[in-house]
């Protein structure tokens, strides 16, 4: 069975299961995340089933991301948050639980909105030479 037949977001796009729709056009569908980390927490997904960033066609990504500021602006106008996080999890270890590519828009209302991403920085653990080698290891694969 094709992956998309079993995909909850494909079913939402097709209207087979309900969602609180925020926006739809020929390329993307945006709807409220059931979890509502904060009020207005929205997901935007491509209409084509692509499971994560490693499988996302750059052309599909371009179509998706050109809508992101439009939806962010609408959330701003609706609820006047003081900030907004974009989040995209890829792979189970990184917190992905639905394997249809999606970007979270999470408006932020203040220090009480209970989000703690828990990232730690390691600025002092790397020399400039090590940073250059890491950057080179990545850039050598960009064609
Ligand atoms: P992630 O963990 O980044 O893969 O995000 C998946 C998100 O999908 C979670 O935040 C869930 O709350 C949300 N979610 C799962 N099922 C539904 C649904 N039926 N409608 C809306 N959001 C959903
Ligand atoms: Zn899907």
87 three-state secondary structure? strand
Q: Is the CB of 106 under 6 A from ligand 1?
A: no
Q: Where are the domains of the chain?
A: 2-117
Q: Tell me, what's the pLDDT at 115?
A: 78
Angle at 53 between CA 60 and CA 42, to 5 degrees: 75
What is the pLDDT at residue 46?
A: 98
Superfamily of domain 2-117: HIT-like (3.30.428.10)
Q: Is the pTM of this model over 0.85?
A: yes
Task: Name the burial class of residue 51, with classes exposed (0-12), middle (13-18) and buried (19+) by CB atoms within 10 angstroms of its CB.
Answer: middle
Annotated catalytic residue 55? no
Return the structure tokens found at 40: 């207005």
What are the tens digits of pLDDT across the range 42-83? Answer: 999 999 999 999 999 999 999 999 999 999 999 999 999 999
Q: How confident is residue 5, by pLDDT bands cut at 50, 70 and 90?
A: confident
Ligand nearest to the CA of 92: 1
Using alpha carbons only, what angle is made at residue 57 by residues 53 and 58, rounded to the nearest 5 degrees?
Answer: 90
For residues 68 and 22, the answer to whether their CB atoms sit within 8 Å is: no
pLDDT of residue 114: 73
Q: Which of 41, 49, 100, 102 is catalytic?
A: 102
pLDDT tens sequence across 102-121: 999 999 999 778 777 778 88
CA distance 138 to 46: 26
């Amino acid at each position: 069975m094709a992956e998309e037949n079993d995909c909850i977001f494909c079913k939402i796009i097709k209207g087979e299961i309900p969602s609180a729709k925020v926006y739809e056009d020929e390329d993307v569908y945006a709807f409220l995340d059931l979890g509502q980390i904060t009020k207005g927490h929205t997901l935007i997904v491509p209409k084509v089933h692509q499971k994560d960033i490693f499988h996302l066609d750059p052309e599909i990504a371009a179509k998706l991301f050109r809508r992101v500021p439009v939806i962010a602006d609408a959330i701003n106008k609706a609820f006047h948050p003081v900030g907004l996080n974009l989040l995209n999890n890829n792979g189970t270890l990184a917190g992905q639980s639905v394997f249809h590519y999606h970007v979270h828009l999470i408006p932020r209302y203040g220090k009480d909105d209970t989000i703690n991403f828990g990232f730690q920085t390691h600025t002092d653990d790397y020399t400039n030479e090590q940073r250059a080698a890491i950057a080179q290891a990545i850039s050598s694969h960009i064609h």
